[in-house]
Amino acid sequence: MSGLPCYHSAMHVAPRPTQRRRGAAPQRRLLALLPLFAFLGVSAAWAQTTNGALYEVEIVVFRASSTGAPEDWNATPTARGFGSESTRGGTPQLIRVLTPAEYKLDTIEATLRSSGAWRPIAHAAWVQTAANWGTHIGIALGDIGINTPGLSGMVYLERATYLHLGLNLTLGTGPTYAINEMRSVKYNEKQYFDHPAFGVIALVSPVARTAGAAPH
């Protein structure tokens, strides 16, 4: 035996006149809800999945106002948590980009701006599904409305036993600075991804599928 699964064609049996096809009622209910999903900005593709937990991700990217001579600003930190480069890619599971009125990290951005040591250069928030752990299906900065000159990269949200947030960002055009890290995160807990030249503060929150319900 090869150990591979064996598939058989299903037998086609005409239903009795008094029988109702299984699954017909749920399918009709789903079709009836699709216009509502579209109105709420949720894609039909998500609506048809059985594991469609949604998450709100928000990031503030900031850079140092000045670079001190003792620091090695060109140093690229060792990647933590990512697989090989060849495993990256896939279709971003972006549901909706949020407006500035929906941001939760405005106070953090204002504090950074007033500190004088750091200068915010990008701020965005969006709703997405999480990819399976290890697939590295990312969302490009441009897709979430970040078009800061010299800043590029991807944001990754993956789910296994725990939820993981990853950043693969570069800043500058020579020298180039990089943040390349994935870590386990908890809901509504601020995360700080650091590099001597720039950093990111991130927040991941569950989005309720119905009022009072949150994905687990």
Task: Give tens-digit pLDDT for 1-54.
Answer: 444 444 333 434 444 444 444 445 544 544 454 444 444 444 444 443 335 689
Q: What is the mean pLDDT of residues 190-211?
A: 89
* pLDDT tops 70 at residue 55: yes
Instruction: Tell the burial category of 82 from Cβ atoms under 10 Å away from its Cβ (0-12, 13-18, 19+).
Output: middle
Look at residue 150 in the predicted model and tell me its pLDDT: 96
Q: What is the mean pLDDT of residues 51-59?
A: 88
pTM score over 0.85:
no
Look at residue 82 in the predicted model and tell me its pLDDT: 57
* Distance separating alpha carbons of residues 160 and 180, to the nearest angstrom: 20
CA separation, residue 130 to residues 6, 31, 97, 136, 207 (Å): 31, 24, 15, 10, 12
Q: Which of 71-80, 92-101, 164-173 holds the top average pLDDT?
A: 164-173
* pLDDT tops 90 at residue 72: no
Look up residue 62 and give its two tokens: 């900031």
Look at residue 40 in the predicted model and tell me its pLDDT: 42
Look at residue 157 in the predicted model and tell me its pLDDT: 94
- Inter-residue contact 198 to 148 (CB < 8 Å): no
Q: Where are the domains of the chain?
A: 21-50, 51-207
* pLDDT tops 70 at residue 98: yes
210 — pLDDT class (breaks 50, 70, 90) = low
Q: What is the mean pLDDT of residues 62-88?
A: 56
Q: What is the mean pLDDT of residues 107-134?
A: 94
Look at residue 85 in the predicted model and tell me its pLDDT: 43
Look at residue 54 in the predicted model and tell me its pLDDT: 93
Greater confidence (88 vs 94) lies with: 94
Q: Which of 187, 182, 205, 103 is nearest to 145 (CA)?
A: 103
CA separation, residue 53 to residues 46, 94, 125, 190, 208 (Å): 9, 12, 17, 20, 8
* Distance separating alpha carbons of residues 13 and 160, to the nearest angstrom: 40
Look at residue 114 in the predicted model and tell me its pLDDT: 95
CA separation, residue 209 to residues 91, 204, 206 (Å): 22, 16, 9
